[in-house]
Amino acid sequence: MLNMVKCKVKSFLRVIVCSLLILLNTVAFVQTLSPCSESLSSFLAKTPASSEQSLGSSSTATSGSADALLAEAHAVLEKGNINEADRLVRQYLQTHPDSADGHFLLGHILFREIQSEARLERHLEGVQVLGAGASPVQRGEETAKASLAEFTAGAKLHDPSAADLKVVAFDYVLLGDYVDADKWLTRMLGWTPSDAEGWYYLGRTKYNENRFEEAVAAFQRCLKLDPRNLKAEDNLGLSYAGLGRKEAAAAAYQQAIDWQSGAVLKNPGPYIDFGDLLLDENRNEEAVSYLLQAIGVAPRESRAHELLGKAYSRLEQLPKAQSELEEAIGLSPPNASLHCMLAPVYRKQGLADKAKIEFDRCAALAGSHSVPPTPRP
């Protein structure tokens, strides 16, 4: 069970009371914030916000005596003009290289650049939006490292805020460094324990570290602060599943499904995760029902088609299995496991040539750079 869960994981600050502790924490921050070289995680958080300290009130905010150019950069960012904000703050830093506010603000801007590109690529189905030769993954890694470098530079000059630490943690998530992400989210939540979003992302980080008990605790804290947080409830179910507590997982998935029963726009996650759980228990016909609902909500969700193809294959409904797996491959071509699943479906139907092609693709991708299913944030 643990190996299965690990595979799925691969295919997710209390104010310091004395000046000495502030100094020690700042030193630790500066020493630890080194860009990570691990591969970019597809986990992407929404624009971070703190329940007690927003970007506008954090150390990135300008004081009354701050330079007008930095104030303009901050105002432009708040309006969503990321490129112009980037240009202005870099212009400011050319003449004010020792400005902690400037470095922290640029760190936030760079993180938002990653988010902006990711949203465009999601809409354009993998088309490289920015070009310049580098892949989206490489650009994301480079920008996350650059963001971390700005926070490191700022931390040498001024104590970071909770909002700053939150973005630092998210940069590490984007780099696949869940240990450091865990560290800085935990520090941030020590300062702002009522930040429900922070607890949610700490839970996601713990889950990706396979620390399922701690993930459960984090999602429960999130739900205590935000009682109808559907994603937290769904991820609570995933964490219970990681612990082998299938009944608790099923209850969490069902609760998340019930919460959105009357919603016009629904999240497919609980349907997919419940369907996956039912497949684990060989309750294949029940799984089909939930997975069809997931596809009704999100027809371009590759994972739903993959699991539905798996269910139909077990039920010996091979043409349906073939259709769903072909659809999944169309949405996620580099995923080796999809080709490995489709090959025997072709073979069982006597489609030997197609089966051979898929077996070859399966072997080639498994030995190179296959892309696992994208985890939900």
How do residues 148-184 score in pLDDT, each as one tens digit?
999 999 999 999 999 999 999 999 988 989 999 999 9
* Number of Cβ atoms within 10 Å of the Cβ of 214: 18
The CA distances from residue 159 to 78, 162, 368, in Å, are: 22, 10, 43
Nearest-angstrom CA–CA distance, 179 and 174: 12
pTM to 2 decimals?
0.76
- Encode pLDDT of 225-266 as tens digits: 999 999 999 999 999 999 999 999 999 999 999 999 989 999
| Tokens linked to 319 | 């043409």
Give CA angle at 104 (77, 209), nearest 5°. 100
Residue 260, Cα to own-chain centre: how many angstroms?
Answer: 22
- The C-alpha atoms of residue 25 and residue 157 are separated, in whole angstroms, by 13
Tell me what the mean pLDDT of segment 39-51 comes to. Answer: 37
Distance of CA 285 to the CA centre of its chain: 31
Give the per-residue pLDDT at 119: 56
pLDDT value of position 65:
41
pLDDT tens-digit map of 265-319 = 999 999 999 999 999 999 999 999 999 999 999 999 999 999 999 999 999 999 9
Closest to 377 (Cα-Cα) out of 230, 247, 248: 230
